[in-house]
Structure 1
Amino acid sequence: MCTHRSRVRDRHTSKSFNEATDKFHERNVLGKGGNGTVYKGALKDKRLVAIKKCKLISERQEKEFGKMLILSQVNHRNVVRQRLYGCYLEVEVPMLVYQFIPNGTLYQLIHSRHPHGSRISFTTRLKIAHEAAEALAYLHSWASPPIIHGDEKSPNILIDEDYTAKVADFGASALAPTDEAQFVTIVQGTYGYLDPEYMQTSKLTSKSDVYSFGVVLLELLTCRKAMNLNALEEEKNLSSHFLLAVSENRLVEILDEQIKTEQSVE
């Protein structure tokens, strides 16, 4: 079971986490999900970290938190290593403290809240897609036991200073039984990325991650959000909008202008 002890010398407390994040100020939010909020923090020794403030409301969920001990053993260049600083149960709200990636999330990069916005080249997009796919393949096929992420989405793919993709946030993940191809779980994840079959059956498989990753690929191609409630009805869900465009031979229309410009020049 994960304990409050970390790999750094200081014994962290709720007070030290408050100080590291300026009392979990909104400006330090790196991302939000159904399982908690991730904040940028600065430890007393000046190291920058990502601190996930988890939402745990039941004994069952607290036991699930223990799976982080296994997840912390994940070792792949395109997966954020969550074991660097530790996880803490003996604080007011359970915390995960892990590697800080300085260039923000893929969501920020492709939806223009990032300084570079959608100006990333098609080659860079392919690189990011390939690396994120490699990370999922590792989790599904090489990790022991296999890991199903459960909430694959652009906000959970971090981008470092070299534009290397690192899959992060295993708060909704599951350790797959080695003798079963699928298993029943409480539906978690993010609307717009959720596999429709998983939503209907509650049976989580690696294919659920693959569907979600497909939505991420659509974001990279179109620079449109997975869900946009302010869009026209037929355009609110990116997956549905994409399939409709393909069926009507309008794929080029919804591609990001940067991609169309690059390809026309080439």
Structure 2
Amino acid sequence: MEKSIDLNCDLGESYGIYRLGDDEALLDFVSSANIACGYHAGDPATMRRTVRLCLERGVSIGAHPGLPDLAGFGRRTMSVAPQEVYDMTVYQVGALLGFVRSEGGRLAHVKPHGALYNMAAADRSLAEAIAEAVQRIDPQLVLYGLAGSELIRAAEARGLRCAAEAFADRTYRRDGKLTPRSESGAVLHDAEEAARQAISIAMDGVVHTLAGEPVALAADTLCIHGDGAQAALLARHIRQRLEEAGIAVRPPVAVQ
């Protein structure tokens, strides 16, 4: 059986006069895009433009809701109740859904951003709030979440389709969790090192910690962060090396 993996990237993160990431270049190499919905990044014009670019390139479109934190890029933990998380998820996904439909496309998935993603990975009540929001908007949507997390379990409990996510450009701890960004070595900047990690996850379901210890990690999709200066070069190299290894790059089967 042919091996395959989805390669997703966070896009549409510019807003107002601020420009972040090279979305056009990245779209040549990824199979799925997570488009910011205006809370942590993005604005209406950027959302429309990014949706159009995805449709032109044949890239699967997903909503990327985050915490209301432009100054902190949605990466700062906030005290929010499950009802607030439900409301902000519906609000943001609904906004992007409007742009996707107005351009004649189809929204395929939802992936929370930054701190909201990490909080929902560990807190079942927040995970359930996001899963409920996604199900009520469209039960055919695929919910992306950290492999082995509460978000994946909440999606499965509701009968939602989900995609377990791993990261090509982040390192992992022995317990299978991501190395916190506050620690040294949390982000992989070397393209070949990231590519080797992507291949290991896609081919063998294994990731190695900074100490070299193997950890089992089954994933349907790999994330590349789009806000790094070398993001497009990283994405190109990872895609090239995956295909050289005989691993097809495409959205999860459930999305197609």
Shorter chain as denominator, the TM-score bin is under 0.3
Structure of higher CA gyration radius: 1
TM (norm. structure 1) is: 0.25
TM (norm. structure 2) is: 0.25
Greater RCO, CA 8 A, separation 6+ = 2
